[in-house]
Amino acid sequence: MSRIQDTRFPLGKAPALHVGDDRARTANVRSQCSGPPHAMRGLFSVWLVLLWCVPYVAHGQVRDDAGEPCRVLADGRVEGPLRTIAEEYRRRTGAKVEIEFLPMADVDAAVSGGRAPCDVVLAMPADKKSETPVGSLAGAKKVAWKYPSGEPVWAAAITKHSQAAQFITFVGGPTGHRLWSESEAGFTITSGPNHAEAYAWVVENRLKHTYPMTAARMMAELGGIRKGTCIDIGCGTGMLDVELAKRSEFTITGLDIDADMKPLFDKKIGDAGLQDRVSFVEGDAQKLPFPDNSADAIVSRGTLTFIPDIAKCLREVDRVLKPTGVAFLGGRYVYTPQKHKMTTEKLQQIVRNSGVAGARVIDSRGQWVKIVGPQAPKAAAGFQGGPHMLAGRIVADYAVTEGKCLLICGSDGGLEQALQKGLLETTDVEIAAMYPSEKVAGEARKRIEGAKLADRITCTTGSIGAWSFDEGSFDLIAGVGPVLIFQKDRQKAMQEIYRVLRPGGAALIGGKFLHMPEFRKVSSQSLRETADKTGISSIRVIDNMGQWVEIRKGIKDRGPRD
């Protein structure tokens, strides 16, 4: 890693230190801060030697910091977000914060033995299993987690500089996740005048595409309930509520404990013209402000694990839910900070101990608690996922919500129809459904015209490779069933799929093949070997809820999804 530094605080150039005389040291350091960066590594070593020779500031030393900046020594991997956070901190508090970014190993070396020439130190370990010495310093706090690998970012106050503790708290944000992820540095920053606005950024920039899919899944889980009263617990900015309203006739109440969400929620609902049907109520999920037996449906996304007493919340949900109602609460928690994630076993235990009859945990495409009222529709109890879920998976994993989609259909059976329906409901893509013969295509065309879907689905005939599509024609290619594994030349088929994808597009083709005779199946190992031969670096064979070949074209892998 190249040395990264904030030239206002070049620790690597530290001169001789005077015990306990931080002010003199800082002044001295600052007077020398214009040297060439390439000289820093050598000077850093000199500084380390000096550090060992001179007893340094013990943890918690009171520093006369009148007018002195709070000096932060930080792991270079958090440079992007930390700079932004520090800027925001300076802007809000007027405090001076100076940061030096160093390679992780240098930060670790600097703090070993509890020594570091700064007021705050911040670093994360090389991987989840290892530790950073910063984590073992007295009073060290986990302020963030790297996504998706999950290494914690540790921060510790070295001195009692008046800004040290406050800065650490600020870095972690109100719920300890101000440092978000995904940029080149491994993180993306979000901040705002309050937590609600910081969250709104995440919603707009990271989650937006998932709400239609979540709403569609919820509607399927509700087993046909689509009228009456629906409560959304922890509604946030109202994105889910807009999508639920589009798919139902519900009157929806979004409940959230954070009053700052209300203006954001009201704007979202107002922009969608839904103010007559959707409203916001401030309240706590553990003490719902609704009468007994009053809700037909209760849903919640991304909130459950933030609630301190989940069992209490579930009992409240059970109280408010009509006997004919269904509740579906949970989420995928992809962006949730580790400390608010929970194992399924733990959630199951909480659900068991809550005493709510009819509550169970569903650990599929997320982690959910479902409560089915004793007189709820039978379909609510029997929901099994299926191709509708596959549409959700595609939308969630590839974030393709518009453009052109090629559906490779082996027939026009229930799977293909459900996948079409799922994609139409959760995206705005135009679908080209490709059938193996004119006969099947003709029947499908009739069905599609009858369902008045012809403006979104066109039917063609062909098979993988035996087509005349130009390079880069499709944003998304999906296929459910043995459409790829039955190809004579699978390698060529994979290469053709790659060719007709547009850069940034994705393909997911496969299935569960539950009822297929063994001799017709292809082992994942052999599929992987074929995939390797294609020379496509982004091709993967995934054994998750079936066997799938995934091809992404020209986009950085955003990390594993559940």
Ligand X SMILES: C[S@@+](CC[C@H](N)C(=O)[O-])C[C@H]1O[C@@H](n2cnc3c(N)ncnc32)[C@H](O)[C@@H]1O
- Cβ nearer to ligand X, comparing 305 with 417: 305
Binding of ligand X by 10 (CB under 6 A): no
Stretch that binds ligand X, among 228-236, 264-272, 439-447, 464-472 (CB under 6 A): 228-236
Reduced to 3 states, what is the DSSP secondary structure of residue 431? strand
Six-digit token string for 228? 């009456």
Tell me the residue nearest to ligand X as measured from the CB.
236
- Cβ nearer to ligand X, comparing 116 with 264: 264
Contact 503, 472 (CB under 8 A): yes
- Return the number of other C-beta atoms located less than 10 Å from residue 171's C-beta: 25
Contact 496, 468 (CB under 8 A): no
- Cβ nearer to ligand X, comparing 141 with 332: 332
Binding of ligand X by 282 (CB under 6 A): no
Using only C-alpha atoms, the chain has a radius of gyration, in whole angstroms, of: 28
Stretch that binds ligand X, among 227-235, 269-277, 468-476, 495-503 (CB under 6 A): 227-235
Dist. CA 218–CA 83, nearest whole Å: 40
Site for ligand X in 164-203 (CB under 6 A): 203
Binding of ligand X by 284 (CB under 6 A): yes
Number of residues that bind ligand X (CB under 6 A): 21
DSSP-assigned beta bridge partners for residue 231 = 253, 298
Rounded to the nearest whole angstrom, what is the least distance from the CB of residue 261 to ligand X in the complex? 5
Site for ligand X in 461-520 (CB under 6 A): none
Binding of ligand X by 266 (CB under 6 A): no
Binding of ligand X by 350 (CB under 6 A): no
Rounded to the nearest whole angstrom, what is the least distance from the CB of residue 195 to ligand X in the complex? 7
- Cβ nearer to ligand X, comparing 13 with 206: 206
Binding of ligand X by 236 (CB under 6 A): yes
- Cβ nearer to ligand X, comparing 6 with 260: 260
- The secondary structure of the chain in percent helix, strand, coil, rounded to multiples of 5, reads 35, 25, 40
Binding of ligand X by 235 (CB under 6 A): yes
Within 76-145, strands assigned E span 97-102, 120-123, 141-145
Binding of ligand X by 261 (CB under 6 A): yes
Nearest Cα residue to 483 out of 444, 514, 520, 509:
509
Binding of ligand X by 302 (CB under 6 A): yes
Rounded to the nearest whole angstrom, what is the least distance from the CB of residue 253 to ligand X in the complex? 12
Binder among 198, 244, 285, 298 for ligand X (CB under 6 A) = 285
- Torsion angles phi and psi, residue 76, rounded to 5: -60, -20
Q: How many helices (H) and strands (E) does the chain have?
A: 17, 21
Binder among 123, 240, 406, 407 for ligand X (CB under 6 A) = 240
Within 395-497, strands assigned E span 404-408, 430-435, 457-461, 474-480
Binder among 50, 257, 342, 522 for ligand X (CB under 6 A) = 257
Stretch that binds ligand X, among 165-173, 302-310, 372-380, 442-450 (CB under 6 A): 302-310
Contact 459, 411 (CB under 8 A): no
Binder among 3, 301, 365, 553 for ligand X (CB under 6 A) = 301
Contact 475, 399 (CB under 8 A): no
| Amino acid sitting at position 546 | G
Nearest Cα residue to 95 out of 165, 16, 45, 193:
165
Binding of ligand X by 430 (CB under 6 A): no
Binding of ligand X by 306 (CB under 6 A): yes
Stretch that binds ligand X, among 91-99, 147-155, 296-304, 416-424 (CB under 6 A): 296-304
Binding of ligand X by 444 (CB under 6 A): no
Binding of ligand X by 231 (CB under 6 A): no
- Cβ nearer to ligand X, comparing 117 with 337: 337
Binder among 197, 258, 266, 443 for ligand X (CB under 6 A) = 258
Six-digit token string for 444? 């499908």
Six-digit token string for 79? 């440079």
Contact 104, 131 (CB under 8 A): no
Rounded to the nearest whole angstrom, what is the least distance from the CB of residue 238 to ligand X in the complex? 8
Dist. CA 203–CA 215, nearest whole Å: 15
Stretch that binds ligand X, among 88-96, 234-242, 354-362, 365-373 (CB under 6 A): 234-242
Binder among 119, 256, 416, 550 for ligand X (CB under 6 A) = 256
Nearest Cα residue to 503 out of 541, 528, 538:
538
Binding of ligand X by 239 (CB under 6 A): yes
DSSP designation for 520:
G
Binding of ligand X by 216 (CB under 6 A): no
Rounded to the nearest whole angstrom, what is the least distance from the CB of residue 255 to ligand X in the complex? 6
Name the residue with tokens 């605080």.
9
Dist. CA 498–CA 509, nearest whole Å: 12
Q: Exposure of 405 by Cβ count < 10 A (0-12 exposed, 13-18 middle, 19+ buried)?
A: buried
Which residues are at the interface with ligand X (CB under 6 A)?
203, 233-237, 239-240, 255-258, 261, 284-286, 301-303, 306-307
